[in-house]
Structure 1
């Protein structure tokens, strides 16, 4: 079911943010994907990006949608100073990805979308969280570091399996790898605490 009033309410929020002089990017979206299959028809995400850009506000896209998200690259590349595009990447093992992220685009489709965004001059980032398997996380960095501007890394919490991971060593390995590659990164609090 589509909420018909969502853009009207969003526009009120956009106007208030513009009036306040907000400089931080508006994230679409951490708790739900902005490129769900339903949005192919409704294009609410596209309309939201247009509203934000029309009012000089920055937008940060975070998605597992892969190619579905590419339809808005024209908007993001027209306003690169107001836009960034990111993908959540957790697995290189496609069987694990299908089990944990059954409705998401494949990891490699998301990687291709990141590369395309980068080639269009859009600032790119990867959310490497939650880290399920440190080895796969390091593989993702190897596959993407040439076209990703920023990595955000956070561990998987509340999972008994991950009690066997040496998180301090993993954190230091990630930092060393990203420093060597020359990428910017942000280590989330859950991983900094070790």
Structure 2
């Protein structure tokens, strides 16, 4: 089985290809879907127990898979089973080595993280990808107290915003995952705050918290989000779960409901050493 694979279901909305090289995460997000998913295969799975295979063996598997996908026209997403820039990664620098392998085989990469400044530790490698990488932040709150409650091990919102700005200022394409949307007003505020340094947005909603979800008008959130995106002339994709609340009066382009609209295409031939 290849380490690089095509994700299925809702995960496919994030990328045509993905790579999972760490299991578990130390961010402790209350809303994380991974424990539910992983327990289908292992009832004893504990998401806070972060682990990898024996390191040399793991990197060998990643390289073997990267060879098969060398010069891929499709981007690879990091990562669905962990945050690439958790505290665990800071100790191991595993993401850096994975990026170096993907760069060597000229594979475009899309990163998503709540790690804030930890992402910047690999800025030198990230810059070598040129236009063949995009770095995103899961942007959930503006209120730091809410962030500490829901995602206690992740970097605070202000740090995530600042890290994206620094990446953008360094010529890196940036994007935001507006999901989960726990407090719609805060998510809308995030769009206003970040519009100058976030290039594209994937916008969803909250799932698996039915009582909390029912508090909000998701049609209004969708319309307000699209209004803000149009105001700032931003590229965006509306995820399927939120698209279900689309009113007939709201026009969306084919791109804005195309899951691959924001995915990178391979342009390594245009990158000069």
TM-score by length of 1: 0.95
- The residue that corresponds to 2:193 in the other structure is 143
Within the alignment, does 1:186 sit opposite 2:237 as a pair? Answer: yes
Choose which of 89, 93, 98 in structure 1 pairs with 2:143. Answer: 93
User: Quick one: distance in 2 between partners of 1:165 and 1:37?
Assistant: 33
Task: Name the structure with the higher strand share.
Answer: 1
- The residue that corresponds to 1:113 in the other structure is 163
CA contact (8 A) 1:63 1:86 kept: yes
Flag as ranges the 4+ runs of structure 1 deviating above 2 A.
none
Secondary structure, counterpart of 1:164 in structure 2 = coil
- The residue that corresponds to 1:68 in the other structure is 118
Deviations 1:133-185 (A, max 9, x none): 11000111111000101111111013212212111111011001111111111
User: Quick one: distance in 2 between partners of 1:146 and 1:30?
Assistant: 27
What is the CA distance between 1:31 and its match in structure 2? 3.0
Within the alignment, does 1:46 sit opposite 2:96 as a pair? Answer: yes
Within the alignment, does 1:133 sit opposite 2:183 as a pair? Answer: yes
Gaps of 5+ in 1: none
Secondary structure, counterpart of 2:86 in structure 1 = coil
User: Quick one: distance in 1 between partners of 2:130 and 2:163?
Assistant: 16
Within the alignment, does 1:16 sit opposite 2:68 as a pair? Answer: yes
TM-score by length of 2: 0.68
Which of structures 1 and 2 has the larger relative contact order (alpha carbons within 8 angstroms, sep 6+)? 2
Deviates more, 1:182-191 or 1:76-85: 76-85
* Alignment length (residue pairs): 192
- The residue that corresponds to 1:7 in the other structure is 59
Gaps of 5+ in 2: 1-50, 246-273
User: Quick one: distance in 2 between partners of 1:44 and 1:176?
Assistant: 40
What is the CA distance between 1:2 and its match in structure 2? 4.2
What is the CA distance between 1:11 and its match in structure 2? 0.7
**Structure 1 vs Structure 2 CA RMSD:** 1.2
Secondary structure, counterpart of 1:155 in structure 2 = coil
CA contact (8 A) 1:80 1:123 kept: no
User: Quick one: distance in 2 between partners of 1:94 and 1:118?
Assistant: 23
Task: Name the structure with the higher helix share.
Answer: 1
Deviates more, 1:102-111 or 1:156-165: 156-165
